[in-house]
């Protein structure tokens, strides 16, 4: 029997890369998103491949619409990425809760009503507050107590709890994945998007100020997207939660990598702002044990690939720069 995946938030940054990976496997993704702007997917896939994407426009807060779409898709797994990021939840906490918490409940409800084998959903490293560290100040693991300091982090923590209850009550298996700073082509909004926007600005030789400082944990978006799909395919039964760890490095090092790839463009890149309200790195050992062999692009390679891709889009006259104009 053929297996298929129902994907929400497919028009966003990580979603676009999941779509690319699904298309690269020769499958036809069924995607659900509020928007209709395909620009992030168009930056990654050929126009003829785009025709294989089945887009259902809808709102994850609409219980009936989500159920109807999942049922009609015939999918046996759900990858749920739709959500509002930290600044949007801060600006409108009630809408943030509707989309991030009720929206996630709607996907689990649909999974329980339809024949869904597993739900893989985006949690976040923002479930940790800045002081939530392991013994001796080490990187937190999945057993570290959670004290999020943003509404967004509280919503993600709630989703992890609800996923466990759905397993106990309805037997729905799930994986909650906690990325931290995802970077790469398509990362143009959210609290940790500035390093990627700086890469784009440098390619265009434009000034740009990165609004947070210190170290954070960088995960290339292609690796992150592949991890969601691998978990959808291979995770064992149960309600699992996994940290993602890439490379934890200081912002000065990221700016240096940008300089290596665009020596002239990097002069206009500055860093001025507080550190993030999240620990600077996560312990990602558990997912490596349960799902071995996940891709891990080095930060140096990821920055180079991202800036090369931006330069190609620039040369083709289709580099979207709206995120630099805020």
Ligand X SMILES: NC(=O)c1ccc[n+]([C@@H]2O[C@H](COP(=O)([O-])OP(=O)(O)OC[C@H]3O[C@@H](n4cnc5c(N)ncnc54)[C@H](O)[C@@H]3O)[C@@H](O)[C@H]2O)c1
Our CB check for ligand X shows the closer of 15 and 140 to be: 15
Which phi-psi region, left, alpha or beta, contains residue 67 (left: φ > 0; alpha: ψ -120 to 50)? alpha
Least distance (Å) between residue 192 CB and ligand X = 5
Least distance (Å) between residue 260 CB and ligand X = 23
Our CB check for ligand X shows the closer of 60 and 307 to be: 60
Our CB check for ligand X shows the closer of 20 and 265 to be: 20
Our CB check for ligand X shows the closer of 80 and 118 to be: 80
Least distance (Å) between residue 264 CB and ligand X = 28
Distances (CA, A) of 85 to 24, 66, 71, 92: 28, 21, 27, 11
Our CB check for ligand X shows the closer of 186 and 265 to be: 186
Q: CB neighbours (10 Å) of residue 68?
A: 14
- Extract the tokens encoding 278: 């999240």
Our CB check for ligand X shows the closer of 56 and 203 to be: 56
Least distance (Å) between residue 125 CB and ligand X = 6
Are 184 and 310 in contact by the 8 Å Cβ rule? The answer is: no
Least distance (Å) between residue 126 CB and ligand X = 7
Our CB check for ligand X shows the closer of 192 and 222 to be: 192
Are 54 and 115 in contact by the 8 Å Cβ rule? The answer is: no
Least distance (Å) between residue 227 CB and ligand X = 11
From the list 108, 157, 128, the residue with the least C-alpha distance to 8 is 108
From the list 79, 71, 67, the residue with the least C-alpha distance to 27 is 79
Can you point out the beta strands (E) in 170-318? 173-178, 181-183, 208-210, 215-220, 239-243, 247-250, 269-271
Which phi-psi region, left, alpha or beta, contains residue 229 (left: φ > 0; alpha: ψ -120 to 50)? alpha
Least distance (Å) between residue 48 CB and ligand X = 22
Helix (H) or strand (E) holding 41: helix 39-42
The 8-class DSSP code of residue 121 comes to E
The 8-class DSSP code of residue 47 comes to H
Report the C-alpha dihedral over residues 260, 261, 263, 264, rounded to 10 degrees.
-160
DSSP helix/strand/coil, 28: coil
Least distance (Å) between residue 124 CB and ligand X = 4
Our CB check for ligand X shows the closer of 202 and 276 to be: 276
Chain positions contacting ligand X, by CB under 6 A: 8-9, 11-15, 33-35, 59-61, 81-85, 99, 103, 122, 124, 179, 181-182, 189-190, 192
Query: Shortest Cβ contact with ligand X: which residue?
Result: 12
């Amino acid at each position: 029997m053929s297996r298929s995946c129902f994907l929400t938030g497919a028009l966003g940054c990580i979603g676009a890369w999941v779509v690319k990976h699904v298309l690269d496997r020769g499958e036809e993704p069924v995607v659900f998103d509020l928007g209709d702007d395909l620009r992030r997917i168009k930056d990654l896939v050929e126009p003829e491949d785009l025709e294989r994407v089945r887009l259902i426009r809808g709102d994850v807060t609409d219980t009936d619409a989500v159920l109807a779409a999942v049922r009609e898709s015939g999918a046996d797994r759900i990858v749920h990425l739709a959500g509002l990021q930290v600044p949007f939840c801060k600006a409108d906490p009630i809408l943030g809760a509707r989309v991030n918490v009720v929206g996630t409940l709607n996907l689990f409800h649909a999974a329980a009503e339809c024949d869904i084998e597993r739900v893989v959903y985006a949690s976040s490293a923002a479930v940790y507050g800045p002081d939530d560290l392991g013994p001796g100040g080490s990187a937190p693991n999945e057993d570290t107590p959670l004290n999020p300091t943003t509404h967004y982090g509280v919503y993600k923590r709630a989703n992890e709890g609800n996923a466990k209850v759905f397993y106990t009550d309805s037997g729905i298996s799930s994986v909650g994945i906690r990325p931290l700073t995802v970077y790469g082509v398509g990362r143009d909004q959210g609290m940790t998007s500035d390093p990627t926007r700086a890469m784009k600005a440098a390619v265009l030789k434009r000034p740009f100020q990165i609004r947070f400082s210190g170290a954070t944990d960088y995960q290339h978006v292609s690796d992150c997207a592949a991890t969601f799909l691998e978990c959808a395919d291979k995770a064992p039964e149960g309600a699992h939660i996994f940290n993602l760890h890439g490379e934890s490095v200081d912002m000065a090092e990221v700016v240096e990598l940008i300089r290596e790839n665009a020596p002239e463009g990097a002069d206009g890149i500055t860093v001025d702002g507080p550190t993030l309200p999240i620990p600077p790195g996560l312990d990602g050992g558990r997912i490596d044990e349960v799902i071995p062999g996940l891709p891990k692009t080095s930060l140096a390679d990821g920055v180079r690939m991202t800036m090369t891709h931006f330069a190609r889009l620039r040369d083709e006259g289709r580099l979207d720069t709206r995120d630099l104009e805020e």
